[in-house]
Amino acid sequence: MVGTYALHWDTDTNHVDFALAGLWDESLMDRWLAELEDSLEHARPGWTLVGDLTAYPAQEDLIAERQARMMTMCQDHGMSRGALVMPRAAVLMEGSPLHRQAGLIDEATKAVATREEALEFVQG
């Protein structure tokens, strides 16, 4: 499956939703990161993020490393909490290389199995 993404910023709630799918190449990763970074100009301190990775399979190392840096970039831009919706098996592997590749690096980021769990986490 060819890689795709969707991004929606809700300025009223100071929240961004995104979904990633398929296998990615560097060109698509460049476009995604540029669009995400551009969207961060709407952010107010304390914004939240929910990402849907349920259709985003394991990627080549270079792509996975850049994706992990995405969560750090978000925190550097004032994100207070971020949750990634992942297949249940991946959620259960907390602390695994898959989690590090997804950028789940501290208590402000979490892997969950459903969108409802993600919203509950980011809304605190």
CATH code, 27? 3.30.750.24
CA angle at residue 11 from 10 to 16, to 5 degrees? Answer: 40
Mean pLDDT on 47-54:
94
46 pLDDT band, cuts 50/70/90, is very high
Domain that holds residue 91: 4-122
φ, ψ of residue 56 to 5 degrees: the values are: -110, 95
pLDDT score, position 18: 96
Q: How far apart are CA 90 and CA 71, in angstroms?
A: 17
DSSP 92: T
**Which pLDDT belongs to residue 67?**
83
Which residue type does 117 have?
E
Reduced to 3 states, what is the DSSP secondary structure of residue 108?
coil
Q: What is the pTM of this model?
A: 0.86
pLDDT at 93: 60
Q: Number of structural domains, the chain?
A: 1
